[in-house]
Amino acid sequence: MSIPRFAVIGHPVAHSLSPRIHTAFGRQLGIALEYGTIDAAPEQFESALASFAAAGGTGANITLPHKARAASVCEHLSDRARRAGAVNTLLRTDAGWEGDNTDGVGLVRDLTQRHGLDLRGRRSLLIGAGGAAAGVAPALLDAGLADLFIVNRSRGRTDALAAALGDRARVHPHHWDDLGGLGGFDLVIHATSAAHGGAAPSLPGGLLAPRGAAVDLGYGAAATGFLDWARASGAGSAIDGLGMLVEQAAESFLRWHGARPDTAGVYAMLRERDAAPVTGD
């Protein structure tokens, strides 16, 4: 039997930790697999995916900037992918690609189980309204946040995400310019890709309630600017996206292989080598 092939598709993607994570999970559970990277510019996404399928690709993770586009190539979407309007996990079936989104459940599992945060009742702010933000917003609402304010550089995407989420009682789209007047939040989640092209967006003081939690969906250098701001703002917890990365990978692994890996050892290995430390409780 040939070894099943998997890949992460993104642009850029060379830095991705997903091959190491999935290889480590496979070793842990005695499951043979190949996992590579595919760099595809936005206009090449469909052809890159088709080539991967033709070469026997079984499943793929999708990362920046293809998560919304990936949803549009699927024959079938899971409920959580449909709600997110974004796909980070593809599974090849006889009918075509099946799309799932494990980012949201991965984030919630990291925050609640690894970092011990109780998300229920939190007044929350989501900064960004692209694929990454859309991927995590439904799971955050399901985790019991009191409110989810959303701000984004371009207002159209803020409104589109809020409309897609549909929970008008709890979801509040706002202009970026409103940021200074929205008061303190118990949870602030940074989900823009700004740091990949330079620096994280500058944020006003007073955005974090005393001892509030700040979370960047990125890790390593991409998370530094926001997490520095959070610590300077008195955050009780300043958490990067490394744990979410490992948890979403575990959920994808479960989807593909039918077995859930233990994430603690892989998280510790990556934390030691690659990413800035997490502070807080």
Q: Which residues have a catalytic role annotated?
A: 67
Please say whether the beta carbons of 224 and 198 come within 8 A. no
Please report whether residue 18 would count as binding ligand ATR according to CB under 6 A.
Answer: no
106 lies in the site for ligand ATR, by CB under 6 A? no
Give yes or no for residue 190 binding ligand ATR (CB under 6 A): no
Q: Is 218 in the site for ligand ATR (CB under 6 A)?
A: no
- Rank residues 5 and 67 by Cβ distance to ligand ATR and give the closer one: 67
CB under 6 A: which stretch of 43-51, 53-61, 191-199, 262-270 binds ligand ATR? 191-199
Question: Which of 165, 194, 213, 230 is the binder for ligand ATR (CB under 6 A)?
Answer: 194
Q: Does residue 4 bind ligand ATR (CB under 6 A)? A: no
CA-nearest of 231, 228, 179, 174 to 207 is 179
Q: Which of 25/251 has CB closer to ligand ATR?
A: 251
- How far is residue 125 from each of residues 1, 95, 156, 174, measured CA to CA in Å? 49, 39, 17, 10
* Close Cβ partners of 82 (under 8 Å, ≥ 6 residues apart): 71
Task: Identify the residue among 29, 31, 64, 259 touching ligand ATR (CB under 6 A).
Answer: 64
CA pseudo-torsion sign 210, 137, 216, 248: positive
Instruction: Report phi then psi at 180, rounded to 5.
Output: -65, -20
Distance from C-alpha of 171 to C-alpha of 193, rounded to nearest angstrom: 22
Residue list 112-151, contact with ligand ATR (CB under 6 A): 128-133
ω before 65 within 30° of 0 (cis)?
A: yes
Among 10, 173, 201, 225, binds ligand ATR (CB under 6 A): 201
What's the gap between Cα 232 and its chain centre?
A: 24
How many residues make contact with ligand ATR (CB under 6 A)? 17
Q: Does 152 bind ligand ATR (CB under 6 A)?
A: yes
192 counts as binding ligand ATR under rule CB under 6 A: yes
**Under 8 Å between Cβ of 192 and 127:** yes
Given 75, 154, 175, 265, the residue binding ligand ATR (CB under 6 A): 154
Residue spans of beta strands (DSSP E) within 12-56: 34-39
CB of 11 to ligand ATR, least distance (A): 11
The contact set with ligand ATR (CB under 6 A) reads 64-65, 67, 128-133, 152-154, 157, 192-194, 201
